[in-house]
DNA sequence: CCCTCACTAAGTACAGCGTACGTAGTAGCC
DNA sequence: GGCTACTACGTACGCTGTACTTAGTGAGGG
């Protein structure tokens, strides 16, 4: 007589349908789509078991027949988002393909701003993650390196893109819960930063901020970072 | 008559002591230290306003006199951890100094496994973050590049280290709440991965995993990644 | 054919969370 | 000395994840 849930299980190993009993009212995709819809519209914090169940139109506890823990719901969401990755026939130019991968991932994360926060290596085995990984490896066929190196390249590129987009979106996502706007939050922080720098305690930072007062070109910074990661693995 | 908390404020801009009234029983450092102690010992999820107040030995709501929102408590924690960064006199060899910075950050995060999860650019203005940033810039004095480039290097190195350590620690941290061990969790996932690969749908991944079945040398992977980031900014 | 039993569905309940609000007491300033 | 800003903190509300329970359903085995 095992204690309920005492055995570790991967949600993907669970069959969606077992022979007996009435057939489930929802598919895993239905549930993931509902959760993604809520997160896109109202932010990740709005995704609760109750809210997702309501979105589906079923009782809260019925959800637990499909998703044993909330953590697994997150895993479904990440996989669903990963399903939007559209693979293509590798071009033979692995550099160009990697650039395209990076840009596609960034766009995906802009479409689903909660995604960077949920990204975890733990979710790396989901069906769409595997599909994505295999596609990246296919793109890297022309790169004459060991698979270990290729995996390191993919991990580093992914990590960099995730970190980068997180920096782009984090304030916007976190400010949802606050009674003031993102601009006000930023203004308050910049003002404080200015007052600190004015003390003269940080001469190099002061120089950095006076060097170029113009607005930062996020697009260009991103492209540069991608190029650097690529070059780091195969200098020209 | 302003609505309470309707004006954005940075916790660091709040004076710790205003003239009037009885003198506060705790300093900001006391509070941060208590929260860090709890997070180190019981994991980040154990850090609640009630728990921290209990650790300090005061009523729950008294904490709100020091920390207007829980978010700010997190900010205090990150800054406190950042205070453990021990700066040194730049050696003149910026590459060596950057390696040392990366290693020190990694050690810091191993000491405080909750830190990667809390890392956010939003906290980049805290006193210790500023101190750290200035130190990095000082180490980069010999690198003949614009400040913009130097900041990009620091951001990329930091981001890479954070992502990397997160990958190292995430499963361990997340498994705290579960009724099984990290090893069991990993075993379940690896087993599932094996079953997927056995289908033959992922030939390149299959090749990658048969190429080298030995245990991964995390230390070596980390050092390689650091070297790559450094080289990406100043190829030799 | 029908009985059995695995399964779905959903309600109730509990412990814990962040925090708004109100009240009581304290100490520096005019 | 009193005004007043401040600290301290108990109560309460709405929310969370989820354990447990009960009722109903429908395919498989005899």
Residue A15 has pLDDT above 90, yes or no: no
Residue B2 has pLDDT above 50, yes or no: no
Contact A232, B229 (CB under 8 A): yes
Q: B18 is written with which tokens?
A: 């205003």
Residue B145 has pLDDT above 90, yes or no: yes
Q: Answer yes or no: do B125 and A235 touch at CB < 8 A.
A: no
pLDDT in tens, B105-133: 999 999 999 999 999 988 889 999 999 99
Q: Answer yes or no: do B204 and A167 touch at CB < 8 A.
A: no
DSSP B12: G
Nucleotides of D under 7 A from a protein CB: 4-11, 15-21, 24-28
pLDDT in tens, A46-88: 999 999 999 999 999 999 999 999 999 999 999 999 999 999 9
B197 backbone dihedrals φ, ψ, rounded to 5°: -65, -35
How does the average pLDDT of chain B come out, rounded? 92
B51 with B108, same domain: the answer is no
Nearest to A171 among B122, B163, B212 (CB): B122
- DSSP of B20-57: SSSPPSS-HHHHHHHHHHHHHHH-GGG--HHHHHHHHT
Nearest to A233 among B162, B185, B228 (CB): B228
pLDDT in tens, B192-234: 999 999 999 999 999 998 887 778 899 999 999 999 999 999 8
For residue A211, list chain B residues with Cβ-Cβ distance below 8 A. Answer: 146-148
Taken in order A126, A131, A134, A135, the sign of the CA dihedral is: negative
B203 with B222, same domain: the answer is yes
pLDDT in tens, B74-86: 999 999 999 999 9
Q: What is the pLDDT of residue B62?
A: 96
State the angle between helix axes of B70-82 and B127-139 in degrees (0 to 180), rounded to the nearest 10: 40
> To probe the interface with A, which of B68, B152, B204 has the most A CB atoms within 10 Å?
B204
In a domain, B205, yes or no: yes
B154 with B69, same domain: the answer is no
Give the percent of chain A with pLDDT over 70: 97
Q: Answer yes or no: do B196 and A125 touch at CB < 8 A.
A: yes
Residue A4 has pLDDT above 80, yes or no: no
In a domain, B5, yes or no: no
What spatial distance separates the first Cα and last Cα of chain B, rounded to whole Å?
Answer: 62
Please report, for residues A86, A131, A152, A181, the alpha-carbon distance to residue B196 in angstroms, rounded to integers and kept in the order given.
21, 11, 21, 46
Determine the average pLDDT of the residues in A205-229: 90
In a domain, B56, yes or no: yes
Q: What is the pLDDT of residue A18?
A: 73
A133 with A226, same domain: the answer is yes
DSSP A140: T
| Å: A61 CA to C13 C1' | 13
A76 with A131, same domain: the answer is no
For residue B6, what pLDDT band results from cuts at 50, 70 and 90? low
B54 with B99, same domain: the answer is no
Pick from B36, B26, B22: which is nearest to B67 by CA?
Answer: B26
Contact A190, A209 (CB under 8 A): no
Domain end point (choices B81, B106, B127): B81
In a domain, B62, yes or no: yes
Nearest to B188 among A10, A146, A225 (CB): A10
Contact B39, B47 (CB under 8 A): yes
Looking only at Cα atoms, what is the longest distance across chain A? 73
B88 with B192, same domain: the answer is yes
In a domain, A10, yes or no: no
Q: What is the pLDDT of residue B7?
A: 78
In a domain, A52, yes or no: yes
Spatial CB neighbours of A143, under 8 Å, sequence gap ≥ 6: A94, A150, A153, A233, A234
Q: What is the pLDDT of residue A5?
A: 43
Determine the average pLDDT of the residues in A156-162: 97
Q: What is the pLDDT of residue B200?
A: 94
Q: Which domain holds residue B43?
A: 25-81
Contact A226, A160 (CB under 8 A): yes
Identify the closest residue of chain B to A5 by CA–CA distance: B179
For nucleic chain C, which protein residues have CB less than 7 Å from any of its atoms? A 17-26, 58-62, 65-66; B 4-5, 19-23, 47-51, 60-61, 64, 69-71
Strand D, CB < 7 A, residues 50-69 of A: 50-51, 60-61, 64, 69
pLDDT in tens, A81-123: 999 999 999 999 999 999 999 999 999 999 999 999 999 988 9
Q: What is the pLDDT of residue A115?
A: 97
Identify the closest residue of chain A to B205 by CA–CA distance: A134
| Å: A211 CA to C5 C1' | 75
B90 with B186, same domain: the answer is yes
For residue A71, list chain B residues with Cβ-Cβ distance below 8 A. Answer: 174
Pick from A168, A43, A55: which is nearest to A112 by CA?
Answer: A43
A37 with A96, same domain: the answer is no
| Å: A61 CA to C14 C1' | 15
Strand D, CB < 7 A, residues 64-123 of A: 64, 69-71
| Å: A2 CA to D13 C1' | 38
Residue A3 has pLDDT above 50, yes or no: no
pLDDT in tens, A163-214: 999 999 988 888 888 888 888 888 899 899 999 999 999 999 999 988 877 7
Pick from A136, A155, A151, A152: which is nearest to A94 by CA?
Answer: A136
Please report, for residues A30, A43, A44, A67, B197, the alpha-carbon distance to residue A16 in angstroms, rounded to integers and kept in the order given.
12, 28, 25, 10, 20
Contact A105, A158 (CB under 8 A): yes
For residue A196, list chain B residues with Cβ-Cβ distance below 8 A. Answer: 125, 127, 130
Determine the average pLDDT of the residues in A6-16: 84
How many angstroms separate the CA atoms of A77 and A66, rounded?
14
In a domain, A16, yes or no: no
Q: Look up the CATH number of the domain holding residue B160.
A: 1.10.357.10
State the angle between helix axes of B127-139 and B147-174 in degrees (0 to 180), rounded to the nearest 10: 130
Spatial CB neighbours of B107, under 8 Å, sequence gap ≥ 6: none
Q: What is the pLDDT of residue B1?
A: 32
Taken in order B7, A41, A68, B188, the sign of the CA dihedral is: negative
Determine the average pLDDT of the residues in B67-92: 97
A228 with A135, same domain: the answer is yes
Domain end point (choices A65, A80, A95): A80
Contact A196, B134 (CB under 8 A): no
In a domain, B214, yes or no: yes
Identify the closest residue of chain B to A140 by CA–CA distance: B204
Nearest to A170 among B120, B163, B211 (CB): B120
For residue A141, what pLDDT band results from cuts at 50, 70 and 90? very high
Nearest to A138 among B178, B189, B204 (CB): B204
User: Vertex A64, ends A62 and A68: CA angle to 5°?
Assistant: 170
Locate the DSSP E strands across B9-160. Answer: none
How many angstroms separate the CA atoms of B236 and B231, rounded?
7
Q: Answer yes or no: do B8 and A187 touch at CB < 8 A.
A: yes
How many angstroms separate the CA atoms of A153 and A229, rounded?
8
Nucleotide nearest to B64 (CA to C1'): C19
Q: How far is B106 from chain A (nearest CA, A)?
A: 16
A113 with A226, same domain: the answer is yes
Contact B79, B32 (CB under 8 A): yes
Q: Look up the CATH number of the domain holding residue B71.
A: 1.10.10.60
Residue B152 has pLDDT above 50, yes or no: yes
Strand D, CB < 7 A, residues 52-71 of B: 58-62, 64-66
Domain end point (choices A80, A103, A128): A80
Pick from B41, B50, B42: which is nearest to B70 by CA?
Answer: B50
B67 with B153, same domain: the answer is no
For residue A16, what pLDDT band results from cuts at 50, 70 and 90? confident
Domain count, chain A: 2
């Amino acid at each position: 007589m095992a204690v309920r849930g005492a055995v570790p299980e991967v949600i993907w190993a669970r069959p969606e349908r077992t022979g007996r009993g009435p057939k489930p009212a929802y598919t895993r995709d239905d549930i993931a789509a509902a959760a993604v819809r809520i997160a896109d519209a109202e932010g990740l914090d709005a995704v609760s078991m109750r809210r997702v169940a309501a979105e589906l139109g079923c009782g809260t506890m019925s959800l637990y027949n499909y998703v044993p823990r909330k953590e697994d719901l997150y895993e479904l969401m990440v996989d669903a988002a990963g399903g939007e990755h559209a693979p293509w026939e590798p071009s033979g130019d692995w550099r160009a393909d990697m650039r395209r991968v990076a840009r596609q991932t960034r766009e995906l994360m802009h479409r689903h701003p909660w995604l960077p926060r949920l990204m975890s290596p733990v979710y790396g085995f989901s069906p769409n993650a595997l599909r994505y990984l295999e596609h990246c490896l296919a793109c890297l066929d022309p790169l004459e390196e060991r698979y270990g190196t290729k995996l390191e390249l993919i991990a580093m590129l992914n990590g960099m893109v995730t970190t980068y987009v997180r920096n782009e979106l984090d304030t916007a996502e976190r400010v949802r819960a606050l009674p003031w706007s993102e601009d006000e939050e930023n203004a308050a922080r910049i003002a404080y930063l200015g007052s600190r720098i004015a003390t003269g305690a940080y001469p190099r930072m002061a120089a950095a901020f006076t060097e170029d007062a113009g607005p930062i070109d996020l697009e260009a910074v991103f492209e540069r970072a991608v190029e650097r990661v690529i070059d780091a693995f195969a200098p020209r």
